[in-house]
Amino acid sequence: MIDVTPFQDLMPGNYCWGCGPTVETGLRLKSRWQGEEVVCNWQPRSEFAAGPKHILYGGIISAVMDCHSIWTAIATAYRHEARDVGSDPLVWYVTGSLRVTYRKPTPLNLPLTLTSRVEKIDGRKSIVTCSLVSGGEETAMGEMLAIRVPLDWFEPRTHAGN
């Protein structure tokens, strides 16, 4: 069974282009627990073409894997702390690295399913694996190093000269 409310909608202050619920031009990803994995179903838009109008641009594939994998790390941290996603104190992660392997072209007209899980946790670092499936076939896979950051990272900073 899939939890009803997406993680992205539970986090106050989520203005991410990939998954922020109020970002009109964003990707608006919605990730949820499905057992021990995190799942996101998403339909690409026609402007995300790779050149050929029927193939999804690889940069968008990386973007959806990035956002979905970060939310997998965040949700897993909340789960390990026996708390609801979005409860205080907030949990935030950033991408330390992301490696995407493109297995075959991803059709633009079919819905995508991203499935991910945290494979390892070492202090502030989590290794997340992600699979992208389109039309019943895995078209890309990814591995992310997600790093938990302190809450002051999320606050705007005043920089000299600005």
Per-domain boundaries in the chain: 7-153
Tokens of 93: 């992660």
Question: Is residue 161 pLDDT above 80, yes or no?
Answer: no
Could you please state the CATH topology (level 3) that the domain comprising 7-153 is classified under. Thiol Ester Dehydrase; Chain A (3.10.129)
Q: What are phi and psi of 50, to 5 degrees?
A: -85, -5
Confidence (pTM): 0.92
Q: Give pLDDT tens digits for 67-89.
A: 999 999 999 999 999 999 999 99
Backbone angles phi, psi at 113, to 5 degrees: -125, 125
Residues with Cβ < 8 Å from 106, sequence gap 6 or more? 44, 55, 56, 61, 112, 132, 134, 139, 140
User: pLDDT for 27-48, tens place per residue?
Assistant: 999 999 999 999 999 999 999 9
Tokens matching residue 46: 């026609």
Q: How far apart are CA 126 and CA 120, in angstroms?
A: 6
